[in-house]
Structure 1
Amino acid sequence: MAEAGAGNWCLIESDPGVFSELIRGFGVTGVQVEEIYSLDEDSFAPLKPVLGLIFLFKIDANSDTKSEGTLVQDNRLDEMFFAKQVIQNACATQAIINLLMNAKQESLDLGDNLKTFKDFTKSFDPQTAGLAMSNQEQLREVHNSFARQQVFELEDNSGAKDEDLFHFVGYLPVNGRLYELDGLNEGPLDHGAIGEGADWLSKAREVLQKRIEKYSSSEIRFNLMAIIKDRRLKYEQEIEELKTKTSAQSSEENLIEMARLESLLEAENMKWKQYKVDNIRRRHNYIPLIVNVLQVLAEQGKLTEFYETAAKRTKELKKSETQSK
């Protein structure tokens, strides 16, 4: 089992349940994370208000897939929080923290730890803010608590680095302009004015679509998530408002809407419970169970039989895949 040591940050899974509980672990309340499967406007509408977007993509050194945003180097840096990434494997938390520190939403509560950290780093340049973040014990512990259990850690001495590298960045509006927060850059990237009365998500979709199109048509490994208002708070507030209306003037429409909202609230509560179960399973060490199962199969003389059956099925699957190509 590979374990994140002191000062190290582990890789974590790109998953809304992981990110939602990660944010809770930081002490932040009032928001959650939802996955977006399409850049169509209809995919964004049910999520509003959206505080920020988290985009995962492959770092491709062989093609011009870099962002076209303009590096911010003026006094706007004094009004924005930006921490440069100075440690490996922390880009998920880096993107989330950079977004949360700049997001504007009445439901968002950063919590004592991040509020103190934001005040402490107020006058820091991006490099120093990144160093300060890398030394934030609570952030590192919460981040590493989502490390996936590994049975073996193999050392590659061949010198070959064929494994694809993926990276998280954030997008959000600040003072009427769209910014990209990428910890690998020296500062925020400005993607231009949003336009008076325009929806910032429309501009963000255009920027993301243009960036995705820079990759070859065979590259489909992208992931997009949104930091949104906690839907439980949203539904609870709407239920309370409806209760006031219903008590003043009862109607069948209000009662139907009340039932709908209560159903949605229950679904959200169940989803959060499932997040906890899923994340417990991610953290759980299954190695003792696997070893015990193998021992029992060996004692019953079935281990060789199971192995041969599995090897045969694997061979058949590979043959089937080859024929279908």
Structure 2
Amino acid sequence: MADTGQWCLIESDPGVFTQLITDMGVEGVQVEEVWDFDTLAQVEPIYGLIFLFKYEAGASDRGAAMAVDTEAANEAAMDSIFFAQQVINNACATQAILSILMNRPDVELGEELTQFREFAQSLPSDMKGLAISNSDKIRQVHNSFARSETFSNEQPVTANDNEDLFHFVSYVPIHGALYELDGLQPRPVYLGPCTEKDWLEKVRPIIEARMASYSSSEIRFNLMAVCKDRSLVLAEQLAATDRRLTRAQKKLSRLVQTLHGERDLLSMFLSDEREKLARYRTENARRKHNYIPLIYTLLQQLAAKGKLADTLPEARQKAAERKARQRQAKQPTSKP
């Protein structure tokens, strides 16, 4: 590989990768470690997966061996993929991250990476890798996560012959197809068609098969999801819930007002009904009462006081008027 400035080893850690992405000017993206494929739904939307495995002879070819016949792939789509070959040691972590970021139109790259993508997009894959290695911004951000040494910080820490080597590859849905982007391969590895909804289901057996290809004693694998900033996702979900709550409160308020109106109307009907029943009871009580002794006594009192003769003409007059009104009410109304 070319020597275009020394690149350090960086820790495979979601916090490190998240900060690395942020320091490159990308906003709204974070990295989450994946312990179980069944929990991936908790961190959606996911832009891509980064898989770390122990590098052995032929280890990188194991992924390519699972490729679908490239003739089935859309060659025009393949050419539009941002794919960079790794041309320098220790750069695979950053290249795996860039392989996802550069191929997702729904990620805001920021000014510097946007300009870099526009500059490098038309270059062949080996020249893309060289452009990444020669980018002062990308290299400086990468090397800012160098592991500290006790007595010297003058040079970034790199792998030596006594250390196991590990390699990062990316899995990304691009143009309706699933790809493995491995800088040690000559081109993207086409893994078949997919959609944004099912690509995680399709990549799962591929990654599991790669892990199974190692001996049972090898457990040093790491899988990380490059996803939308969880704080943004949760803030959006909270805002959506608040909007639903506001709508529900308005609906409830209207319902409460409607129910209050119905209650007032029913209360009025109930009051009228109770008054009517009370009137019925009073009238029925009067119908059952014998008023003749009372009337006889009143007449005697009036006669004794000499007032009965004075009230008779007036009583007769009123009786005559009442009969006249009754006769008039019984007569049919003539039509014009």
CA distance in 2, matches of 1:64, 1:83: 15
CA distance in 1, matches of 2:239, 2:36: 33
Residue in structure 1 matched with residue 204 of structure 2 by the alignment: 205
Q: Secondary structure at the match of 1:173?
A: strand
1:21 aligns with 2:19: yes
* Kept after mapping to 2: 8 A contact 1:82/1:188: yes
Query: Which entry has the higher C-alpha Rg, 1 or 2?
Result: 2
Residue in structure 2 matched with residue 172 of structure 1 by the alignment: 172
CA distance in 1, matches of 2:61, 2:181: 16
CA distance in 1, matches of 2:43, 2:113: 25
Q: List aligned pairs for 1:225-236, cutoff 5 A.
A: 225-236=224-235
1:33 aligns with 2:37: no
Alpha-carbon deviation of 1:235?
1.4
Residue in structure 1 matched with residue 163 of structure 2 by the alignment: 163
TM-score (norm 1): 0.68
Q: Bigger CA drift: 79-88 or 233-242?
A: 233-242
CA distance in 2, matches of 1:78, 1:6: 26
More helix as a share of residues? 2
Q: 1:183 to 1:70 in 2, by over 3 A?
A: farther
1:223 aligns with 2:222: yes
Q: List aligned pairs for 1:1-325, cutoff 5 A.
A: 7-39=5-37, 42-61=38-57, 66-67=62-63, 68-69=66-67, 74-105=75-106, 108-151=107-150, 161-194=161-194, 199-250=198-249
Alpha-carbon deviation of 1:117?
0.6
Q: 1:75 to 1:248 in 2, by over 3 A?
A: closer
Aligned-residue sequence identity (percent) comes to 47
Q: Deviations over 1:129-153 (max 9, x none)?
A: 1111111101111110001101257
Q: 1:102 to 1:71 in 2, by over 3 A?
A: farther
* Kept after mapping to 2: 8 A contact 1:171/1:180: yes
Q: 1:80 to 1:63 in 2, by over 3 A?
A: closer
Q: Secondary structure at the match of 2:97?
A: helix
Residue in structure 2 matched with residue 308 of structure 1 by the alignment: none
* Kept after mapping to 1: 8 A contact 2:67/2:190: yes
CA distance in 1, matches of 2:125, 2:245: 52
Q: 1:6 to 1:169 in 2, by over 3 A?
A: closer
Alpha-carbon deviation of 1:243?
2.3
Q: Secondary structure at the match of 1:23?
A: helix
The residue type equivalent to 1:245 in the other structure is R
Q: 1:243 to 1:17 in 2, by over 3 A?
A: same
Alpha-carbon deviation of 1:241?
2.1
The residue type equivalent to 2:114 in the other structure is K
CA distance in 1, matches of 2:59, 2:240: 53
CA distance in 2, matches of 1:64, 1:26: 27
The residue type equivalent to 2:21 in the other structure is I
CA distance in 1, matches of 2:4, 2:190: 35
The residue type equivalent to 2:50 in the other structure is I
Residue in structure 2 matched with residue 273 of structure 1 by the alignment: none
Q: 1:222 to 1:135 in 2, by over 3 A?
A: same
The residue type equivalent to 2:34 in the other structure is I
The residue type equivalent to 2:216 in the other structure is S
Q: What are structure 1's unaligned runs of at least 5 residues?
A: 154-159, 252-325
* Kept after mapping to 1: 8 A contact 2:60/2:184: no
Alpha-carbon deviation of 1:30?
1.2
CA distance in 2, matches of 1:161, 1:197: 41
Q: Deviations over 1:8-38 (max 9, x none)?
A: 1100000000000000000001111000112
Q: Deviations over 1:227-280 (max 9, x none)?
A: 1111111111122222223233339xxxxxxxxxxxxxxxxxxxxxxxxxxxxx
Alpha-carbon deviation of 1:72?
5.8
Matched length = 236
The residue type equivalent to 2:31 in the other structure is V
TM-score (norm 2): 0.65
Alpha-carbon deviation of 1:84?
0.8
CA distance in 1, matches of 2:126, 2:58: 27
Q: 1:97 to 1:198 in 2, by over 3 A?
A: closer
Alpha-carbon deviation of 1:6?
8.3
The residue type equivalent to 2:85 in the other structure is K
CA distance in 2, matches of 1:46, 1:174: 22
